[in-house]
Amino acid sequence: MSLFHHSLAFQPVDPMADGLGDDISAEQREEEHFELNEQLDGRLADEWEEILTDARKDPDFSFVSEN
């Protein structure tokens, strides 16, 4: 006779269950969204540089690495 006859199992985690999937879909439908394959035409690099420029102006933001 065993006292420990229960098995423990966890429900699989759904990373989209908290509304993340809806947020991603909304972002993808935005007019000015960009995708990683657009890196080839330089648009992603330009937008990222604009983000970095804005971030450098924020006194509460610090960069760990600029590379």
pLDDT tens column, 32-66: 887 766 555 677 778 888 888 888 888 887 766 65
Per-residue pLDDT reduced to its tens digit, 12-33? 888 888 888 899 889 889 988 8
What is the rounded CA–CA span in Å between residue 46 and residue 50?
A: 6
pLDDT of residue 1: 53
Question: What does the block give as tokens for 33?
Answer: 């969204």
Find the distance separating the first CA and the last CA of the chain, reported in whole Å: 63
Phi-psi region of 19 (alpha: psi -120 to 50; beta: other; left: phi over 0): left
